[in-house]
Chain A
Amino acid sequence: MTNHWIDIGNSDCLLIIGANPAENHPISFKWVTKAQDQGAKLICVDPRFTRTAAKADIYAGLRSGTDIAFVGGMIRFILEDNLFHREYVREYTNASFLIDDRFKGPDELKGLFSGYDPQTRRYDQSSWRYQTDSAGLPKRDTTLSDPRCVFQLLKKHFSRYDPDTVCRITGTSKDQFLKICRTFGATGVPGKAGTILYAMGATQHTNGTQNVRTYAILQLLLGNMGAAGGGINALRGENNVQGSTDSGLLYDLLTGYLKAPIHTDTSLAAYLERVTPKTKDPLSANWMGHYPKYMVSLLKSWYGPAATRDNDFGFHFLPKPTADNYSHIALFEAMYAGRIKGLFCWGQNPVVGGANAHMEQEALKQLDWLVALDLWETETAAFWKAPGVDPQGIKTEVFLLPAAASLEKEGSASNSGRWVQWRYQAIEPPGQAKSDGEIISRLILKLKELYAAEQGSRAEGIQKLVWPYGKHPDMRLVAKEINGFDLQTGKLLSSFAELKEDGTTASGNWIYCGSCTEEGNMMMRRGLDDPAGQGLYPQWSWSWPLNRRILYNRASVDLLGQPWNRRHPVITWDEINRKWTGDVPDGGFPPMALDPQKTRRPFIMQADGLGHLFGPGLRDGPFPECYEPWESPIQNIMSPTQKNPVSIIWSSEMNRWGSVQDYPIVATTYRVTEHWQTGGMTRNLPWLNELMPEMFLELSEELGREKGITSGDRVIIESARGKIRAVAIVTHRFRPFLIDGRIIHQVGLPWHWGYSGLSKGDTTNKLTSHIGDANTTIPEYKAFLCNIRKA
């Protein structure tokens, strides 16, 4: 989230798209409801009429996987009807920057951007850049009229997304679509704020990252970034999943979103040269220019005295992979091919939750060993004795380590709004269950023992790792390491501004620097003061970075430092005392019109200091373009390029593609309030099983009539990858879509069930595929083709 949960209550208009908070984040609705009570409009855009839709002022359906067409159409409407926030767009975004003459967009290149190589399925992105003057600064046209400026290119790109074309693609009623454009577009007036709430419904597509990019463009045009009640707010689906990505759990990241080294990074200097953004622009703070300080401090934190200037601060202890993808799909493909021998499956249940789950289950059989850590014996831990599997034929040795639940251990948990809150242990874990911290600590101590006599950098990485925690780690000490120290004084640091690249500071995660200082563990704070009256609660726990509650908040003010929105100010410039009041400002630089020397542009994390309407850096284009999902019922209407041209296509025999002739129905997957993820924690609770007892399929009355299916019937759902059974819920909440003159049906399937637990059922992910987003490789769980029949 750029903003935070409580701030949702400050909004004038909420667009919930690709999320279902009423069901999956019910507590958040406290704030949604508060906003509605104060007159905010709630818009819900979803293929299904959900419990969120039931509370919305405006609901619009769309065919799963067509979000870019929908939001692209909103962007066009806002540009054509001049609903955008002109001053904000001119001053705070890259709208005025001129783009290289060689750059061409999908309107000219049949759905592709300039630089595409069909052999490698990649772009040469050298034309996706700004024009620069002799001083190396980007050329601008602040009248926004030059045909090569970002604003005009954006307008041209989205000019094809007219309401008729959009609705032909999405199947949305044009009236509803236009009503949403007008309602959300009204937040472009200075002083109004609209927020976007999204979740996996946006990201789990081959175009997932670009779906979110459309939100960024929309929110920048409307001046909603940085504002109270605005922003782009990802509703994270698990307790502390925000903390896990903050802490480098993803394969391509170290802690604090620092990039993981790759094999071409032959030295620390080479790595820093690759990752550190540079600018000659005096108006840009270019905060990530501090990269070397954060990286060296991280290495000092991990390797302590063994990290010296002479050995690149231990940079070579880090693994530097040669392949560029170690995401979930890639790992399971490698396992299936026999290239991976062992797996730690930590609180994860891929036999139920993994895409193409049957294939992932087969992949587990190729392992020599599997360690499963969970509260229960999940389907993954028990895959060797699954129904229809002969344990005699499984070579994999499986270890099940019972893990402590959240209330049985101490530590921090970071919520979607970046609040890092301390959580105390309430009770001891049962039986032999242990906390993750204890398990990992004992594992590392054992590894250190085993590698003590080994040679080489890989062994050194384990030998030299500083690990003062023993078998029973104290999480309060870990919190101090994450925060970081001044190594000369031994004192805890209070801000990442104190980090140095000379090896005299250490910090385990630069964005958490300030969370646990000499003043105490800030995450334990429970202060209830809200001096600004905007729900910031600055003394309740601690929010990264630097306790800032709303990111990009210097875009919430005009050039004089006064809030666009006087009712909900985030920060305000006090000219008499020459300082900001309110939230912790995003860089304390003075307002842009008051001090042209000292000021810096508000989007300090970008090298140019501006919000990116034109966004180079993603693999699939600087503007979002509408492509069809991997499995789609139609030919792409927007261009002859059918699907995301750069997403990776795996082609094992178990990842078959289904055609619309064989599988004419669009399917999507989701969760319900009553169950949690793969059901390990909920399908073992009778109170929850009573509410949602069985695996089901939702379908429209029309499709039910066509197939002779009525509510309560047993049905079979089949995709090119597999076949499952479920109970039918035939409902008015599902409607067929009129897509380009054809009736297209869509059905919905929850993915909570598996063969273990008190409530058993077929696994929806046997139907989904190994195809992922072009940038993140997140699987396309949300749109695929199937067929259904009465069992």
Chain B
Amino acid sequence: MPEKALLIDITKCLACRGCMVACKQWNKLPGESTRNYGSYENPPSLSTSTFTRIIFQEVKDREGVKWLFRKEQCLHCSQAACLVLCPSNALYQNEFGFVEVHNDRCIGCGICQKFCPFKIPRVDRAAHKAVKCTLCPDRVAQGKHPACAKTCPTGTLRFGDREAVIALAHQLLGESQDKRKHLYGEEECGGLHVLYLLPDHPSTFGLPERPKMPNPFEAYTFLRDSLRPSPLREKILALAARKYFGHGQV
């Protein structure tokens, strides 16, 4: 099975948010109780019941105002910090290249959320499980597109074989250099499986210009400082040390 990918062509996004509703419908996620805090944007962040959302940004410049919309979700890195750092090896890359969480292995330590360059995963504190966008591998395995891509009315979300998606992205870049300036995700983090076509620098949209793999010492320190004392803690620290440094002691 060739690797698959989702292209988010930001220039076409209307922020209709049909993708957010389709995601909740397919994944059987509840609607959150929110307040209007002075913006169209809601929920205010990803959560255990919100795997994707549109970030609304107003930019004032000399020409007037711009209203930018970016779909936030797991970008499914090829070199995924979460996968590399997970002490219980709960994260893995499936046949499509998507990063998935093995529910029965996950212990909810939160290291994936802390060290994700895009701050995506969320930990369900009650169930001690990390959750995030899966890119609907259950749908993709049946030849369907992820729920968000299926519902998108404008062609903002284009799904397919990763190679074909990248070729399409380059074609769009070539055709409309005044509109689309960057393809984000071809090389970043070893190659993302969710790529952005951006009309401006990645940082304008809150994306790191050069996302880096985290430092394992920092990751270990995080685990050491955040886990409550228990027999499990010692086991996790030992697993982490072996995974990060190749031996049992720091």
Residue A55 is within 8 A (CB to CB) of chain B in the complex:
yes
Interface residues on B, range: 35 or more
Any A CB within 8 A of the CB of B143: no
B204 at the interface (CB under 8 A from A): no
- Residues in A with CB closer than 8 Å to B25 are 687
Closest Cβ–Cβ distance, residue A707 to chain B (whole Å): 14
Docked CA distance A674–B30 (Å)? 16
Given A30-B153, A49-B67, are A729 and B39 also a contact pair (CB < 8 Å)? yes
Question: Given A49-B67, A51-B67, is A687 in contact with B42 using a C-beta cutoff of 8 Å?
Answer: no
CB distance from B28 to the nearest CB of A (A): 11
- Is the CB of A425 closer than 8 A to any CB of chain B? no
A690 near B38 (CB under 8 angstroms)?
no
Q: Could you say which of B15-23, B82-90, B233-241 contacts chain A?
A: B15-23
A719-775 contacts to B, CB under 8 A, are 727-733
Chain B residues in 8 Å Cβ range of A730: 38
Task: Decide if B14 touches A691 in the complex (CB within 8 Å).
Answer: no
Inter-chain contacts of A22 with B (CB < 8 A): 14, 16
Q: Smallest CB–CB gap between B7 and chain A, Å?
A: 15
Q: Which residue on chain B has the smallest CB distance to residue A673?
A: B16
Interfacial chain A residues near B34, Cβ < 8 Å = 689-691, 693
> Which interface residue of A49, A673, A687 has the most chain B CB atoms within 10 A?
A687
Tell me, in angstroms, the Cα distance from A596 to B24 when the chains sit together: 64
Quote the shortest CB–CB distance from A268 to chain B (angstroms): 49
CB–CB A29/B35 < 8 A: no
Residues of A contacting B33 in the complex (Cβ-Cβ under 8 angstroms): 690, 693
Interface assignment of B216: CB less than 8 Å from any CB of chain A: no
Identify which of B18, B25, B34, B36 gathers the most chain A CB atoms within 10 Å of its CB: B36
Residues of B within 8 Å of A674, CB to CB, are 17
Please indicate the chain B residues that have their CB under 8 angstroms from the CB of A728 in the complex: 38
A311 close to B (CB within 8 Å): no
Q: Of residues B24, B32, B154, B155, which shows the largest number of chain A Cβ atoms within 10 Å of its Cβ?
A: B154
- In the bound assembly, the distance between CA atoms of A51 and B17 in angstroms comes to 12
Stretch among B57-65, B111-119, B127-135, B181-189 lining the A interface: B57-65
Using A26-B14, A29-B153 as known contacts, say yes or no to A687 and B31 having CB atoms under 8 A apart: yes
Docked pose: A688 CA to B21 CA in angstroms? 8
CB of B93, distance to nearest CB on chain A (Å): 30
| Contact partner, A26, options B40, B67, B154, Cβ 8 Å | B154
Residue A686 is within 8 A (CB to CB) of chain B in the complex: yes
A29-B153, A687-B31, A690-B32 given as contacts; is B17 within 8 A of A59 (CB)? no
Contact B16 A727 (CB under 8 A): no
Cβ distance A628 to chain B, nearest Cβ, rounded Å: 26
Q: Which residues of A contact B42 (CB under 8 A)?
A: 690-693
For residue A482, which residues in chain B have a CB less than 8 angstroms away from its CB?
Answer: none
Contact status A30-B154, CB under 8 Å: yes
The verdict on A16 contacting chain B, using a C-beta distance below 8 Å, is no
Check if A727 sits within 8 Å of B15, measured CB to CB: no
Do A733 and B65 touch (CB < 8 A)? yes
Q: How close is A233's CB to chain B, nearest CB, in angstroms?
A: 18
- A54 x B31 contact (CB < 8 A): no
Contacts of B228 in A (CB 8 A): none
Q: Are A26 and B69 in contact (CB under 8 A)?
A: no
Give CA–CA (A728, B39) in the complex, Å. Answer: 9
A23 at the binding interface (Cβ < 8 Å): yes
Say how far A637's CB is from chain B's closest CB, in angstroms: 25
Taking a contact as CB atoms under 8 Å apart, the answer to whether A53 and B67 are in contact is: yes
Q: How far is the CB of B152 from chain A (nearest CB, A)?
A: 9
A477 interface residue (CB < 8 Å to B): no
CB pair A26 B21 closer than 8 Å = no
Q: What separation, in Å, do the CA atoms of A729 and B18 have in the docked complex?
A: 22
Give chain B nearest CB distance to A171 CB in angstroms.
Answer: 14
B12 is an interface residue with CB less than 8 A from chain A:
yes
In the bound assembly, the distance between CA atoms of A687 and B69 in angstroms comes to 19
Task: Give bound CA distance, A673 to B69, whole Å.
Answer: 14
Selected contact of A711 from candidates B35, B38, B154, CB within 8 Å: B38
Residues of A within 8 A of B39 (CB): 711, 729
Interface: A33 (CB within 8 A): yes
B40-63 CB mask vs A (1 if < 8 Å, else 0) is 101100000000000000101000
The chain B residue with its CB closest to the CB of A34 is: B155
Cα separation A54 to B32 with both chains bound (whole Å): 27
Contacts of A55 in B (CB 8 A): 14
Query: Is the beta-carbon distance between A59 and B64 smaller than 8 angstroms?
Result: yes
Residues of A close to B64: CB separation below 8 A: 49, 59
A685 CB, nearest partner CB in chain B, Å: 7
Q: Are A51 and B15 in contact (CB under 8 A)?
A: yes
Contact of A729 (CB < 8 Å), options: B17, B40, B155: B40
Q: Which residues of A contact B40 (CB under 8 A)?
A: 672, 692, 729
Digitize B166-194: 1 where CB-to-A-CB distance is under 8 Å, 0 elsewhere. Answer: 00000000011000000000000000000
User: Known contacts A23-B14, A49-B67, A55-B14; is A691 also within 8 Å of B20 by CB?
Assistant: yes
Indicate whether A54 sits within 8 Å of B69 (C-beta atoms), given known contacts A690-B43, A727-B38.
Answer: yes
In the complex, which residues 21-36 of chain A have their Cβ closer than 8 Å to any Cβ of chain B?
22-23, 26-27, 29-30, 33
Interface membership of A271, Cβ < 8 A: no
Q: A733 touches which one: B12, B16, B36, B58 (CB < 8 A)?
A: B58
Residues in chain A near residue B20, CB distance under 8 A: 687, 691
Restricting to A687-707, which residues have a CB under 8 Å from any CB of B?
687-694, 696
Query: With A690-B31, A728-B38, A730-B38 given, is the CB distance from A33 to B155 under 8 Å?
Result: yes
Question: Closest approach, in angstroms, between the C-beta of B240 and any C-beta of chain A?
Answer: 36
Q: B16 touching A26 by the CB < 8 A rule?
A: yes
State which residues 453-484 of A face B: CB under 8 Å.
none
Identity of the chain A residue whose Cβ is nearest the Cβ of B21 in the assembled complex? A687
CB distance from A407 to the nearest CB of B (A): 15
Q: Which A-chain residue is minimally distant from B12 (CB atoms)?
A: A33
Evaluate contact between A696 and B36: CB separation under 8 angstroms. yes
Q: Which residue from chain A places its CB closest to the CB of B156 in the assembled complex?
A: A33
Bound form: Cα–Cα A673–B17 in Å = 8
CB proximity of B185 to chain A, nearest CB, Å = 22
Does B36 lie within 8 Å of A727, measured CB to CB?
yes
| Distance of A404 from chain B, by nearest CB (Å) | 22
Cα–Cα, bound, A672→B42 (Å): 14
Q: Is A712 an interface residue (CB 8 A)?
A: yes
Are A685 and B153 within 8 A (Cβ)? no
B14 engages A731 (CB within 8 Å): no
Chain A residue at minimal CB-CB distance from B172: A37
Q: Assuming A54-B69, A685-B31, is B17 touching A691 (CB within 8 A)?
A: yes
Given A51-B14, A729-B39, list of 11 further CB < 8 A pairs? A49-B64, A54-B67, A59-B64, A673-B17, A686-B30, A688-B21, A690-B34, A692-B42, A728-B38, A733-B65, A733-B67
Question: B residues bordering A, Cβ < 8 Å?
Answer: 12, 14-18, 20-21, 24-25, 30-40, 42-43, 58, 60, 64-69, 153-155, 175-176
A sample of 9 inter-chain contacts (CB < 8 A) reads: A22-B14, A23-B16, A29-B14, A29-B154, A37-B176, A51-B15, A689-B34, A728-B38, A732-B58
List 8 A-B pairs, minimum CB-CB distance, nearest first. A711-B38, A686-B31, A712-B38, A54-B67, A26-B16, A694-B36, A690-B31, A22-B14
